[in-house]
Amino acid sequence: MHPTPPAASEPAASEPLASGPPLTVTAWVAIVAPLVALVLKGLVPGWLIFFAVLWSPVLLIGYALLVVAAARGMLRRRGVLRRPERRVRARMWAWLTSVGVVLFGATIVDGGDTTESLQSLLTVLLGSPTTPSPAHDASAAIAWAAAAAWLVGWLALMVEWAVAVIAVRAPVPRVAPPRV
């Protein structure tokens, strides 16, 4: 009996599927980074924690999608994001969203009802005064750029994963309806 060639959606045996530890590390960093960002934000609490609780359903849905995409796309041996045509972009988007969310958590300036609560982790580490200062403006600018990177990276990773899943699906043969 002759071995059958791999289907069009399956890579050949000589084609590498896994890129080794870097892709696995990237997937785990993408999964853990939002939790690290939450811890960093929690070190300097304020009213934003209250708004995060209000937005928690949206944030949890986004996090769940990220975990599923990273786990099923990058951590599985035959994950769709391990394929050579997707691997580099998936790694790039995962790192962009991971770095963006951690930077956002560390630099978002939290305001409250007093001037003492106007801080971010970055301004606290820099020893900035509790009133608005150039360090607060710089921290806020970094936070906005990080938020943009976080959202663009997350959205691009979700699109990359969805397109990869659709691309590897086996085509369903069209069957004519039965005649009555």
pTM: 0.79
Higher pLDDT, 4 or 137: 137
Could you tell me how far CA 59 lies from the centroid of its own chain? 12
How many whole angstroms separate alpha carbon 37 and alpha carbon 107?
10
Question: How many angstroms separate the Cα of 27 from the Cα of each of 4, 21, 67, 74?
Answer: 33, 10, 8, 6
How many whole angstroms separate alpha carbon 179 and alpha carbon 176?
9
User: Could you tell me how many helices (H) and strands (E) the chain has, helices first?
Assistant: 6, 0
Per-residue pLDDT tens over the stretch 51-89:
888 889 999 999 999 999 999 999 988 888 988 888 899
Per-residue pLDDT tens over the stretch 86-132:
889 999 999 999 999 999 999 998 876 666 667 888 988 888 877 77
